[in-house]
């Protein structure tokens, strides 16, 4: 009964308050998202990933750092080591589980830095206009013109290898598209009538940008961020693979592949398992991103 009432309240055509309207819109978005099977699969995989990362100490069968040289390179299905062990006898499954934490850490940091920088640059550029716009967009273009991985490599080279520097390097190469999107949105919003109305009421630029323009840019940015996540994971793994990201003995997936590469022909599982993990997670992000795009930004879909 109560559930039925809640559903009716959420699906109303005549919301009674701002909050009501917001909740209603969210619920309807969720309904259409839920009908997208692939996107739901992506979401479930990612939720699982978060759970696994959070519960890593509880569920991992072994300590990911403890070496057991007597039992090195044990194959798949070895009792106690279902995914086998690596060249130092460490349990691969446990390392994958702990590696999920690193992956989430990288993704979360980049997702915090790059879109925020892009949003700032883009909205200021679009709202202020004039030479500020010209200069900021030129800088954006220069970064866009750069090959991303090579630029990230050069940054890491300068900053030194390590996970934080890898995050910084990826963020530095990831922000320009967000700036472009935010600027385009700002230009459309800025010229709309309701912004003029708020201006007439005496709202200042800061208030308009933070209260009226940012909230409207968010949905297209979220879609873009989700779709970019896969690329970010791949870039981070690539840096790890090259030895420029997380440093040993950290169980970062890319670094694990790099380690397993030496034994690829005889002990293939050492490199295969972390690769499958990377693939699964970035696939999940792609599926989720596609689904979100359909819900939040139907124009951009095909």
Partner 1 sequence: MALTDNNTERRPRGPLFPQWIKTTAMTLSSIAVTLLGLLFITFIIGRVMPIDPVLAIVGERASQSTYDAVYLELGLDKPLIVQFLYYIWDVIHLDFGISLLNARPVAEDIARVFPATLELATLGIIIGIVLGVPLGVLAAVRKGSWIDQVARVLALVGYSMPIFWLGLMGLLVFYGILGWVGGPGRVGIFYVDVVPSVTGLILVDAALDGNWDVFKDAFSHIILPASLLGYFSLAYISRMTRSFMLEQLSAEYVTTARVKGMSEWDVVWKHAFKNIRVQLITVIALSYANLLEGSVLTEIIFSWPGIGSYITTALLSADMNAVLGGTVVVGLIFILLNIFSDLLYKVFDPRAK
Binding range to partner 1, per CB under 8 A, among 105-113, 195-203, 239-247, 291-299: 239-247
Minimal distance in Å, beta carbon 302 to partner 1? Answer: 5
Residue 63 and residue 268: Cα distance in Å, rounded?
A: 22
- Applying CB under 8 A, the span of 21-29, 43-51, 187-195, 236-244 interacting with partner 1 comes to 236-244
Helical ranges in 161-268 per DSSP H: 163-190, 193-200, 205-207, 214-241, 253-260
Q: What angle do CA 257, 239, 249 make, to 5 degrees?
A: 55
Q: Indicate the length of the chain as a whole number.
A: 302
Interaction between residue 150 and partner 1 (CB under 8 A)? yes
Per-residue binding letters, 157-196, with partner 1 (x by CB under 8 A): xxxx------------------------------------
Contact between 272 and partner 1 by CB under 8 A: the answer reads yes
Is residue 45 part of the contact set for partner 1 (CB under 8 A)?
no
Which residue do the tokens 């991985």 mark? Answer: 149
Q: Are 13 and 28 in contact (CB under 8 A)?
A: no
**10 touching partner 1, by CB under 8 A:** no
Q: Which of 93, 179, 221, 230 binds partner 1 (CB under 8 A)?
A: 230
Letters for 246-265 (x = contact with partner 1 by CB under 8 A, - = none) are --------x--x---x--xx
Among the listed residues 93, 278, 292, 295, the single contact to partner 1 using CB under 8 A: 278
**Cβ-count burial of 225 within 10 angstroms (0-12 exposed, 13-18 middle, 19+ buried)?**
buried
CA Rg, the chain, in Å? 23
Decide: 71 and 108 in contact? Cβ < 8 Å.
no
Give the Å distances, CA to CA, from 96 to 36, 56, 91, 256. 29, 10, 9, 9
Which listed range, 48-56, 68-76, 143-151, 181-189, lies at the site for partner 1 (CB under 8 A)?
Answer: 143-151
**Binding residues for partner 1 (CB under 8 A):** 138-139, 141-143, 145-151, 153-160, 230-231, 234, 237-238, 241-244, 254, 257, 261, 264-265, 268, 271-272, 274-275, 278-279, 282-283, 285-287, 302
């Amino acid at each position: 009964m109560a559930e039925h009432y809640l559903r009716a309240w959420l699906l109303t055509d005549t919301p009674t308050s701002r909050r009501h309207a917001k909740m209603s819109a969210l619920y309807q978005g969720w309904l259409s998202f839920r009908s997208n099977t692939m996107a739901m699969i992506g979401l479930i995989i990612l939720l699982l990933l978060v759970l696994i990362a959070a519960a890593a100490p509880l569920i991992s069968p072994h300590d990911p750092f403890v070496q057991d040289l007597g039992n090195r390179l044990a194959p798949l299905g070895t009792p106690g080591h279902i995914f086998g062990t690596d060249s130092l006898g460490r349990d691969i499954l446990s390392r994958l589980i702990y590696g999920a934490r690193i992956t989430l850490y990288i993704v979360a940091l980049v997702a915090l830095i790059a879109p925020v920088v892009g949003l700032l640059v883009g909205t200021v550029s679009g709202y202020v206009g004039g030479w500020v716009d010209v200069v900021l967009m030129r800088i954006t273009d220069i970064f866009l013109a750069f090959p991303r991985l090579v630029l990230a490599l050069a940054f890491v080279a300068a900053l030194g290898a390590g996970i934080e520097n890898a995050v910084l390097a990826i963020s530095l190469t990831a922000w320009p598209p967000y700036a472009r999107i935010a600027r385009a949105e700002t230009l459309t919003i800025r010229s709309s009538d309701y912004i003029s109305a708020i201006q007439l009421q005496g709202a200042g630029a800061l208030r308009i940008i933070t209260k009226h323009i940012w909230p409207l840019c968010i949905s297209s940015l979220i879609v873009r961020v989700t779709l970019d996540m896969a690329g970010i994971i791949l870039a981070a793994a690539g840096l790890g693979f090259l030895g420029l990201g997380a440093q040993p003995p950290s169980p970062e997936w890319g670094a694990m592949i790099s380690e397993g590469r030496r034994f690829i022909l005889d002990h293939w599982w050492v490199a295969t398992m972390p690769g499958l993990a990377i693939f699964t997670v970035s696939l999940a992000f792609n599926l989720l991103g596609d689904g979100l795009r359909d819900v939040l930004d139907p124009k951009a879909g095909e």
